[in-house]
């Protein structure tokens, strides 16, 4: 098959390099091999042209729709205008000792569906939430990897221009008009979750980030899982992030807004509560451009009643505040990872199950007073870190408390608390569920 565009390019490079077309064709093949077959002939020729300083065809602007062709006509290399059907989880891989990232985005132009495979730096578009379901993409120089099924790839020559549905300009709108929102995927609230829906999108604010864990799949592959707790004003829900999606947990901070695309709900083990899973077909990102969420405090206020400490009763979960009048204790306790029993100081294994794998649990106990009552309040793990305003505990707790005592005494803490009766003293105490503010 002849390709006039390619021949022209090859002749231009040959002229610039003072050689013949055949030696340039050889260089094109070498370039393709160098990129492990990710470049088409024309793509490789364009890279060579750039290297040789050959003037490339004028770069069209972000709105110019003149070169756009239907997906069905895309061969070799094409400019296309499409809509995002779904975004799969990015994946990491290693090839020839080099680490890379790849992500599959399902697209349509209204008539034809295709896969768009993004490589390496282009995967940032997905990991940082630039590409969402139903966004429009103007893709310049998409490389056509295969036509049955149709698969496009991004290469070094490809430019992906993302347009949110409300950012469509007059120049692009005739094209966009033909691409209806193709997906019937619902956007759910936490209170609406059911476990029979194959997929849904959902927004939430991060209330807690749990540590990431590694595990081994049945086929021997290593997997990773991270857990978050989110709230949206209708409820709280755990989010289970599998494999590459677990990366997000390292970047997430309490209070951040996030969006999950193509999650599914499952009942938690030994519980009636739903958990949202995000597997390879879904993806999750922080700071969505548009979201329906209030600030963290508003989200929590919609879910819990405000109460003075004096009227809290056993089992209550409520919003309250108190001034810190004293610090009772602060310690790092060892907990068995298998059964969550506290491992006694100095003990090598768990008394209950014999497990030797322990995790550190930070516990800070203070006295709060809101003018109605003195109440002992316990803060665990991330709540304790928020109270102390530290991210990592790198020195012993006595030092932390000594350094923080002056900072803490007199501070007003607002948060969601759970009330329980101390089995030994018979006094009502509270555990901090979520810290709203420490001022």
C-alpha dist (Å) from residue 315 to 302, 307, 343, 429: 19, 13, 27, 11
Are 79 and 139 in contact by the 8 Å Cβ rule? The answer is: yes
Cβ distance to Zn ion smaller for residue 288 or 355: 355
φ and ψ of 407, to 5 deg? -65, -40
Q: Is residue 347 involved in binding Zn ion (CB under 5 A)?
A: no
Beta bridge partners of 323: 369, 412
Going from the C-alpha of 280 to that of each of 139, 202, 251, 284, the distances in angstroms are: 24, 16, 19, 11
338 touches Zn ion by CB under 5 A: yes
Size of the chain in residues: 439
Q: Can you tell me the distance from the alpha carbon of 308 to that of 320, in angstroms, rounded to the nearest whole number?
A: 6
Only segment of 74-82, 299-307, 334-342, 367-375 that touches Zn ion (CB under 5 A): 334-342
Work out whether 54 is an interface residue with Zn ion (CB under 5 A): no
Phi then psi for residue 192, to 5 deg, are: -100, 0
Shortest distance, CB of residue 357 to Zn ion, whole angstroms? 9
Q: Which residue from 5, 100, 235, 355 is in contact with Zn ion, where contact means CB under 5 A?
A: 355
Q: Which residues are CB-neighbours of 302 under 8 A, at least 6 positions away?
A: 233, 234, 294
* 353 binds Zn ion per the rule CB under 5 A: yes
Q: Which helix (H) or strand (E) holds 43?
A: helix 41-51
Nearer to Zn ion, 326 or 355 (CB): 355
Tell me which residues in 371-430 interact with Zn ion (CB under 5 A).
Answer: none
> Of residues 69, 339, 347, 403, which one binds Zn ion by CB under 5 A?
339
* Closest separation in Å from C-beta 346 to Zn ion: 16
Integer CA distances (angstroms), 130 to 18, 43, 163, in order? 44, 25, 9
> Residue 364: which of 336, 394, 393 has the closest Cα?
393
Q: Would you say 337 and 345 are in contact if contact means Cβ atoms under 8 Å apart?
A: no
Closer Cβ to Zn ion, 334 or 373, answer by number: 334
Ramachandran angles phi, psi of 139, nearest 5°:
-110, 115
Q: Tell me the window of 264-272, 321-329, 340-348, 360-368 that interacts with Zn ion (CB under 5 A).
A: 340-348
CB of 359 to Zn ion, least distance (A): 11
Only one of the segments 109-117, 328-336, 374-382, 413-421 lies at the binding site for Zn ion (rule: CB under 5 A); that segment is 328-336
Half-sphere exposure of 397 toward its Cβ, with a 13 Å CA cutoff? 16
* Shortest reach from residue 356's CB to Zn ion, in Å: 9
Name the one range near Zn ion by CB under 5 A: 7-15, 208-216, 305-313, 338-346.
Answer: 338-346
Contact positions with Zn ion (CB under 5 A) in 73-132: none
If the CB atoms of residues 242 and 380 are measured against Zn ion, the closer one turns out to be 380
Give the separation between CA 338 and CA 357, rounded to whole angstroms: 7
Binding residues for Zn ion, rule CB under 5 A, total 8
| Distance between CA atoms of residues 143 and 17, nearest Å | 26
Q: Least distance (Å) from Zn ion to the CB of residue 272?
A: 25
Give the x/- contact pattern for Zn ion in 180-219, rule: CB under 5 A.
----------------------------------------
Nearer to Zn ion, 57 or 349 (CB): 349
Rounded to the nearest whole angstrom, what is the least distance from the CB of residue 270 to Zn ion in the complex? 16
Q: Per CB under 5 A, does 349 bind Zn ion?
A: no
Kindly state whether residue 336 participates in binding Zn ion, applying the rule CB under 5 A. yes
Counting beta carbons within 10 angstroms of the beta carbon of residue 66, is it exposed (0 to 12), middle (13 to 18) or buried (19 or more)?
exposed
Q: Pick one of 319, 350, 435, 436: the residue that binds Zn ion (CB under 5 A).
A: 350
Query: Minimum distance from CB of 380 to Zn ion (Å)?
Result: 18
Residues in the site for Zn ion, rule: CB under 5 A? 336, 338-339, 341, 350, 352-353, 355
């Amino acid at each position: 098959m002849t390709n006039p565009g390619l021949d022209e390019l090859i002749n231009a490079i040959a002229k610039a390099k003072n050689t013949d077309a055949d030696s340039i064709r050889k260089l094109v093949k070498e370039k393709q091999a160098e990129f492990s077959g990710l470049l088409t002939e024309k793509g490789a020729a364009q890279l060579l042209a750039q290297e040789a300083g050959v003037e490339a065809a004028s770069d069209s602007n972000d709105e110019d729709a003149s070169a756009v062709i239907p997906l069905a006509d895309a061969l070799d290399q094409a400019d296309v205008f499409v809509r995002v059907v779904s975004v799969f989880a990015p994946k990491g891989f290693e090839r020839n000792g080099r680490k890379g990232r790849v992500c599959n985005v399902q697209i349509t132009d209204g008539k034809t569906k295709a896969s768009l495979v993004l490589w390496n730096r282009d995967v940032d578009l997905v990991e940082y939430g630039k590409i969402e379901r139903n966004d429009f993409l103007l893709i310049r120089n998409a490389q056509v990897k295969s036509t049955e099924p149709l698969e496009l790839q991004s290469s070094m020559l490809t430019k992906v221009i993302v347009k949110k549905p409300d950012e469509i300009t007059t120049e692009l709108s005739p094209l966009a008009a033909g691409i209806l929102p193709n997906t019937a995927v619902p956007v759910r609230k936490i209170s609406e979750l059911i476990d029979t829906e194959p997929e849904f999108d959902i927004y939430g604010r991060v209330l807690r980030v749990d540590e990431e864990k590694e595990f081994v799949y049945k086929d021997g592959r290593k997997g990773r899982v991270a857990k978050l707790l989110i709230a949206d004003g209708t409820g709280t829900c755990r989010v289970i992030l599998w494999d590459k999606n677990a990366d997000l947990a390292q970047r997430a901070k309490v209070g951040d807004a996030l969006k999950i695309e193509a999650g599914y709900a499952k009942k938690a083990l030994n519980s009636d509560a739903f958990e949202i899973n995000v597997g390879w077909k879904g993806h999750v990102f922080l700071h969505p451009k548009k979201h329906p969420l209030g600030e963290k405090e508003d989200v929590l206020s919609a879910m819990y009643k405000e109460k003075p400490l004096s009227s809290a009763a056993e089992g209550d979960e409520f919003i309250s505040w108190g001034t810190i009048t004293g610090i009772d204790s602060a310690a790092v306790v060892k907990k068995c990872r298998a059964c969550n029993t506290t491992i006694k100081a100095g003990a090598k294994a768990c008394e209950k199950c014999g497990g030797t794998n322990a995790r550190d649990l930070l516990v800070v106990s203070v006295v709060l007073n809101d003018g109605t009552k003195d109440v002992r309040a316990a803060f665990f793990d991330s709540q304790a870190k928020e109270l102390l305003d530290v991210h990592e505990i790198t020195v012993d707790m006595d030092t932390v408390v000594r350094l923080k005592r002056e900072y803490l005494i007199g501070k007003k803490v607002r948060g969601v608390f759970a009330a329980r009766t101390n089995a030994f003293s018979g006094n009502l105490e509270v555990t901090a569920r979520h810290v709203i503010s420490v001022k």
